[in-house]
């Protein structure tokens, strides 16, 4: 082979591998102020030097005032139309810079005047509000890793506030979550903060998460009933209203929420039950004034309350809230006065809210959270004996399976959902295409529609 041709092939091969690395996610440790933090670095983004042709596999080092300090996500073509705005968000772009001055490539789309969004983010917006660029200061953000939780919540709160006046995608808040998810998709984040895109607060006391079309609810359908009263030979009742209830497991339902073509929240499936056997409250459908009333019961909220899709369509946001220490074995010998409102007995609830603000977030993040204190909040409980799990779809060797939200590769291996093998490839969606996650390990938090092959 001629030397010139050999040199050309070598250069092309090196460029191919370099391009391949740039098109992948990287799960990589980054040294931040003397601490090694595992970051998920999306394709084309950087937080520190990674090498010229080949991506450096060892720990990276983040330094202040570097060319990676300011990270930008730019949205162009937003409007009041839902489909148009969804497409604009899907085509968002990423830039980075060493200075706070707006990069030349962005200046033609937005005004050059920054508006402070929160402690870490400024935004630049066009005169007619159809283009917006978010500037994230990583020097400030990485001063303390605890900043990331505030960063996510501030993004939701402030973008929701901005959307109230702009109305991207219509007046239903439909674009707020989409914008936040896209910002987190395109920029480097600590790997263990991946669920920040869902406003997730998950600890030993509680689970709080903003529901998304890719987060499904696997719910036990439970029928709460009471034995029919016993009668003596004269027809007088011998039982009392304090008879113990019974709980019948009727199966499971996989419930999903999505937005229709106008951005309104909908539910699938919308189960149908007869009016006689289903009430929108956890009370027994028994006429206590008539002791001869036939045996009747009512389904819990898991199969009744949240089926009221006309109510759902009027809400901007739906959250799942769970108190992780409910009393599963509480004494149910007495009919409750207000079972839906009994927060100590009912740990799994859906919260419906048209406003995301700091007061609401602080209620969720309290030591002993009580979401019912939030003005204007509507909610539906799943009752004392219902089990509900937030699950996500993951594709394993072309087969879609359900795994629990907030679970890692190792957790799913230990549960037998994923085979306990080391050599597997993990892919994640980036700008509507699957990209491989290089150096994926057992700590990787799985996200909806992740793909695993082996």
Shared-domain flag, residues 177 and 248: no
Classify residue 13: in a domain, yes or no: no
CA distance 363 to 206: 12
The whole-number pLDDT of residue 328 equals 44
Q: Is residue 218 part of a domain?
A: yes
Residues 62 and 187 in one domain: yes
Q: Please report which residue ranges of 23-173 form alpha helices under DSSP H.
A: 82-90, 104-107, 138-141, 147-166
Phi, psi of 409 (to 5 degrees): -55, -45
Report the number of distinct structural domains present in the chain. Answer: 3
**What is the spatial distance between Cα 365 and Cα 373, in angstroms, rounded to a whole number?**
13
The answer to whether the beta carbons of residues 198 and 215 sit under 8 Å apart is: yes
Q: Is 58 helix (H, G, I), strand (E, B) or coil?
A: coil
Q: Where are the beta strands (DSSP E) in 174-327?
A: 189-190, 201-202, 206-210, 216-225, 246-259, 265-268, 297-299, 317-323
Task: Report the helix count and the strand count for the chain, using DSSP H and E.
Answer: 9, 23
Confidence at residue 346, expressed as pLDDT on a 0 to 100 scale: 59
Interval 427-431 mean pLDDT: 96
- 348 pLDDT exceeds 50? yes
Task: List the beta bridge partners of residue 453.
Answer: 425
pLDDT of 298 above 50: no
Looking at per-residue pLDDT, the higher value among 110 and 330 belongs to: 110
| pLDDT of residue 401 exceeding 70 | yes
In a domain, 341, yes or no: yes
pLDDT digits (tens, 9 = 90+) for 89-145: 999 999 999 999 999 989 999 999 999 998 999 999 999 999 999 999 999 999 988
Same domain for 96 and 28, yes or no, is yes
**Does the structure show a pLDDT above 60 at 355?**
yes
Domain boundary among 388, 423, 444: 388
H/E element holding 68? Answer: none
pTM of the prediction? 0.83
Are 261 and 151 members of one domain?
no
Whether residue 265 sits in one domain with residue 144: no
Which among 28-42, 208-222, 239-253 has the top mean pLDDT?
A: 28-42
236 falls within a domain: yes
What mean pLDDT, rounded, does the chain reach?
79
234-263 average pLDDT score: 70
| Structure confidence at residue 226 (pLDDT) | 58
Q: Using the predicted structure, report yes or no on whether residue 357 has a pLDDT greater than 70.
A: yes
Please tell me whether residues 411 and 370 are part of one structural domain.
no
What does the pLDDT look like over 379-393, one tens digit per residue? 766 655 567 789 999
Q: Is residue 17 part of a domain?
A: no
Residue 6 maps to a domain:
no
Range of the domain at 259: 206-388
Q: Which residue has the higher pLDDT, 202 or 329?
A: 202
CA distance 405 to 402: 9
Q: Are residues 399 and 370 in the same domain?
A: no
Q: Are 312 and 306 in contact (CB under 8 A)?
A: yes
Structure tokens at 158: 């402030």
Give yes or no: residues 40 and 171 share one domain. yes
Q: What is the CATH classification number for the domain harbouring 396? A: 3.10.20
Query: What average pLDDT score do residues 346-373 get?
Result: 79
pLDDT at 434: 97
Same domain for 315 and 175: no
For residue 335, tell me if it sits in a domain: yes
Q: Which residue, 388, 414, 436, sits at the end of a domain? A: 388
Q: How confident is the model at residue 69 (pLDDT cuts 50, 70, 90)?
A: very high
Clarify whether residues 373 and 403 are in a common domain: no
395 in the same domain as 375: no
Give the pLDDT score at 26. Answer: 93
């Amino acid at each position: 082979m001629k030397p010139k041709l050999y040199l050309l092939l070598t250069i092309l091969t090196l460029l191919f591998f370099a391009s391949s690395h740039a098109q992948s996610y990287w799960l990589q440790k980054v040294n931040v102020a003397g601490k090694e933090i595992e970051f998920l670095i999306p394709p084309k983004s950087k937080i520190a030097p990674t090498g010229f042709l080949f991506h450096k596999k060892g720990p990276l080092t983040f330094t202040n005032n570097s060319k990676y300090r300011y990270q930008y996500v730019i949205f162009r073509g937003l409007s009041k139309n839902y489909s148009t705005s969804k497409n604009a968000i899907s085509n968002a772009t990423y830039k980075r810079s060493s200075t706070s001055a707006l990069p030349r490539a962005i200046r033609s789309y937005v005004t050059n005047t920054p508006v402070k969004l929160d402690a870490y983010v400024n935004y630049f917006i066009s005169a007619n509000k159809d283009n917006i660029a978010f500037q994230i200061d990583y020097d400030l953000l990485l001063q303390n890793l605890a900043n990331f939780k505030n960063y996510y919540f501030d993004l939701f709160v402030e973008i929701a506030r901005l959307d109230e006046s702009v109305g991207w995608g219509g007046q239903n808040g439909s674009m707020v979550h989409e914008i936040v998810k896209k910002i987190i998709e395109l920029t480097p984040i600590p790997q263990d903060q991946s669920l920040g895109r869902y406003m997730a607060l998950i600890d030993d006391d509680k689970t709080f998460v903003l529901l998304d079309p890719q987060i499904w609810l696997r719910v036990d359908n439970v029928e709460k009933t009471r034995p029919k009263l016993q009668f003596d030979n004269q027809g007088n009742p011998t039982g009392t209203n304090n008879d113990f209830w019974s709980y019948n497991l009727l199966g499971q339902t996989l419930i999903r929420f999505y937005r229709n073509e106008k951005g309104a929240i909908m539910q699938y499936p919308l189960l149908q039950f007869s009016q006689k056997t289903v009430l929108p409250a956890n009370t027994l459908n028994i006429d206590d004034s008539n002791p001869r009333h036939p045996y009747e019961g009512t389904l819990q909220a898991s199969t009744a309350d949240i089926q009221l899709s006309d109510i759902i369509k009027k809400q901007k946001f739906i959250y799942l809230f769970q108190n992780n220490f409910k009393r599963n074995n509480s004494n149910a010998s007495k009919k409750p006065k207000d079972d839906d409102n009994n927060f100590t007995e009912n740990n799994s609830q859906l919260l419906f809210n048209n406003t995301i603000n700091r007061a609401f977030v602080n209620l969720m993040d309290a030591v002993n959270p009580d979401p019912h204190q939030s003005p204007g909040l509507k909610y539906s409980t799943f009752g004392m004996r219902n089990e509900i799990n937030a699950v996500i779809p993951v594709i394993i060797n072309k087969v879609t399976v359900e795994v629990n939200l907030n679970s890692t590769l190792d957790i799913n291996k230990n549960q037998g959902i994923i085979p306990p093998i080391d050599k597997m490839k993990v892919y994640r969606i980036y700008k509507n295409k699957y990209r491989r996650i290089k150096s994926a390990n057992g700590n990787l938090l799985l996200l909806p529609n992740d793909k695993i092959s082996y």
